[in-house]
Amino acid sequence: MNSPAILLVNGDPNSRNLLAHILRAQNYEVLTADDDREALQLALVKRPGLVVVDGLTHGDGHQARLDIFRQLRTQPETRNTKILIYAQQRVIDEQCETYVQFADDYAVNPCEPAILLSKIAALIGQVPPEAQQTQDRLEFSDLTIDIKGYQVFVQSAPAQLRRSEFNLLVLLAKNPNQVFSREEISRATHAPNVAVTVRSVDFTMCGLRKKLGIAERHLVTVHGRGYKFIE
């Protein structure tokens, strides 16, 4: 498999070694680090395609982790590196607003290896969904979506979206007032062989709304059913 390296950042050696074993069995090149400082140094030198990070901690460790994320996103060597959070559901729920600033996706620890592997495969080499291959441009009063150019503008200012956020926005915007369930969104915005949980859709929506700012008014939650886009 000719894929970019994967960097695992996990302070628990047992968990780190198990995950490394699973990935190496799939012929991935795996790098490991047990703290954030070591992870950043490795990332700058080795330039992995993906960094898999355990759950954010609290206190000083929490702030240090955020600082590392910011550096990964701003350094020329790593600004395009994908970030996957691998954490317990409780931690993800508590830190959702923080995660969406930096992470491309998350997986709940523990989860089936097939689910984790499918997320990793999607991040390293995602297949563009059909939603990106038809209409070239969608325009609304305060929002412009350039599908072909893979750009979004809110009141003429560019919005930096992750691929999963962009895919979700395009799907809903191309079908205004149509309610999509989380399952339908998962199927429409990911490759068929990629396992995506319905909670991942909520995670993506959380990040999308934050980045759209005033234009997030277009995204409506239909309780008990899913999401829709209004003009």
- The string over 127-166, giving b where at least 16 C-beta atoms fall within 10 Å of a residue's C-beta and e elsewhere, is eebebbeeeeebeeeebbbebeeeebebeeeebebbbbbb
pTM over 0.75: no
Domain extents in the chain = 6-124, 130-229
For the domain bounded by 6-124, which CATH number is listed? 3.40.50.2300
Q: pLDDT tens for residues 167-224?
A: 899 999 988 899 999 888 887 776 655 666 667 888 889 989 999 999 999 999 998 8
Tell me what pLDDT residue 2 has: 59
Tell me what pLDDT residue 68 has: 82
Tell me what pLDDT residue 172 has: 93
Q: Which fold has domain 130-229?
A: Arc Repressor Mutant, subunit A (1.10.10)
Q: pLDDT tens for residues 69-110?
A: 888 888 888 888 888 888 877 777 776 666 667 788 888 887
